[in-house]
Structure 1
Amino acid sequence: MTAIAEPLPSFSGRDDRGFFVRGAIIMAVTVAAGFTFNLAAGRSSFGAPLLIHAHAITFMGWVTIYLTQNILVAKGNFALHRRLGWLAACWVGLMLVLGCAVTIFDIRAARVPFFFRPAQFLVFDPLTLFAFAGLTYAAIAMRRRTDWHRRLHFCAMSMMMGPAFGRLLPSPLLAPWAWEAAFAACLIFPLAGIVLDIRRGGKAHPAWLLGLAVTFGVLIGTEAITYSPAATALYNAVAAGSTGAAVAPLAFGHPPGAKPAPR
């Protein structure tokens, strides 16, 4: 059991805390910039429904938790880091519930950004969220393997950067590849970790490969499911009896103020 708890020999004794703290700070700043820009551009407002506010507070709370956890480790406060870790484990469950609830709300209210296909939005939002949760819980399960723990958490957090990049990138001009562009931007973070590992030790830690495999699994799964009859049936079931039922699941919408695409 002791051997299982030890890090891989080629990565033992390496202090990567600075990299993960800097990465967490950059992620937090990117998220804040994305949502601040969205608010300044008038694409969101404080008059949104309560569910949207609860979702925003919960997801911004996760960014705060992740940044705090990395700072605690850098300062050597492992006791508080472990206690906060249990809160984080519960927090992810709340994110799953609210994330799926907001996705359904947006579909039914026909609030899907016009540069996304509604069926694609219905697929990639929860798929990304559950992949994030899987990587996060895997990181928690491997908390005694610090090398794995840090990298899996980092990969999970990078998957949550899509909405921030979607707001910073000129997404309306990137359709029909707006989601794929935001996805590609998220890869900057794990790829930076891989480069650092290779420069320091000559090879990438396998945790990065696992994280990338899960990340690309979301991409492949989203593309495969979106254009299948299953996605259309799911969209019709979710949107039934709502404003969203008038929106074609695979048609791009119109800019704000225009009528939705007819079915």
Structure 2
Amino acid sequence: MGAERNIGDRGMNPGSDYVLDQRFFVRFSIIMAVVIIFGFAQFAARGMVDVPAVPKWVHLHAILMLGWLGLLVTQNLLIQRSNIARHRKIGWLGGGLALIICVTGLYTGYMAVQLQRFPPFFTNSYFLALVLVEMLVFATMVVWAIRLRRQTQWHRRIMFGATIIALEPAFGRLLPMPLLGDWGEWLILVCQLAFVAVMARHDRKITGHIHPATLASGAIVTAVHVLITGLSLFPPFQRIAESIAAAG
């Protein structure tokens, strides 16, 4: 309680008090990494994907995402150990990695629509919108978090918010999506918001209120799903998706 009161009294401003609740963020990063890796691993283990037949660019994107998860955990461990100098150096690598992930993700999504390598319960426009919106928002949030690097409590929460965006494809493989129909997307949103809620609960426990960055992350995660649905139903975007599919 003494540590919690200390952080709360300082209003979660940057300073030496950021390490007092770092154990939570270390555990949170590990849990998120495990959920994402397990989501994809169990999908492959159940024979839902022919791994050797998967295009090389998909493997590349997957390796880069594994690198992101490893980096997320490593960065939080460095903070816990008060190795700020190394955390800052590696942080720039994270920014570059996020942008590369965005580029490879967009290319992977484009080729998936062209080659029709996505689940049959998605339309061309929905899958294209899904990849486009999530990749751009993920990269934007990481860049935003880096710009907020001197505001520790904002920085860490926006970075986690970006990774919560990346939970979507994992839950898409954990949930029985073919049976859920149109409700599948919104159930995934509920699962993502559950992670935001865990962060919000931590905020309230430490300071008695939810940090604005946590609220922003929840709002962005929700907006992503709304935007995906809206864009997929937008006739000009539908025509673009269909033209990509026809080119295959």
Q: Shared fold by TM > 0.5?
A: yes
Q: Given the two structures, how large is their TM-score scaled by the length of structure 2?
A: 0.90
Matched residue, 2:29: 24
Which ranges of 4 or more aligned residues in structure 1 deviate by more than 6 Å?
Answer: none
Please, which runs of 5 or more residues in structure 2 have no aligned partner? 1-7
Q: Is the 8 A contact 2:124 2:245 kept in 1?
A: no
Aligned residues: 236
Q: Which structure is higher in helix share?
A: 2
1:99-118 equivalences under 5 Å are 99-118=105-124
Q: CA deviation at 1:100?
A: 0.4
Describe how 1:83-162 pairs up with structure 2 within 5 A.
Answer: 83-162=89-168
Counterpart of 2:135, as a letter, is L
SS in 1 for 2:47: coil
- Would the aligned equivalents of 1:116 and 1:178 in 2 still touch at CA under 8 Å? no
Identity within the alignment, %? 33
Offset at 1:9?
Answer: 4.1
In 2, the alpha carbon distance for the partners of 1:80 and 1:47 equals: 39
SS of the equivalent of 1:10 reads coil
User: In the alignment, residue 175 of structure 1 is paired with which amino acid?
Assistant: G
- Which residues of 2 match residues 1-263 of structure 1 at below 5 A? 9-12=10-13, 13=17, 15-44=20-49, 45-242=51-248
Letter of the aligned partner of 1:90 in structure 2?
Answer: G
Give the TM-score taking structure 1 as reference length: 0.85
Asked if the contact 1:131–1:215 (Cα under 8 Å) also holds between the matched residues in 2, the reply is no
Distance 2:40 2:240 in 1: 29
Q: Following the alignment from structure 1 to structure 2, what is the Cα–Cα distance between the partners of residues 74 and 199?
A: 19
User: Equivalent residue of 1:16, what SS?
Assistant: helix
Aligned AA for 1:78?
A: I
Aligned equivalent of 1:4: none
- Partner Cα separation in structure 2 for residue 187 and residue 8 of structure 1: 28
User: RMSD of aligned C-alpha atoms?
Assistant: 1.7
Q: Distance in 2 between matches of 1:180 and 1:60?
A: 26
Query: Which letter maps to 1:140?
Result: I
1:48-70, Cα deviation, whole Å (9 max, x unpaired): 11111111111111111111111
Give the SS at the match of 2:52.
coil
CA contact (8 A) 1:225 1:231 kept: yes
Structure 2 SS opposite 1:144: coil
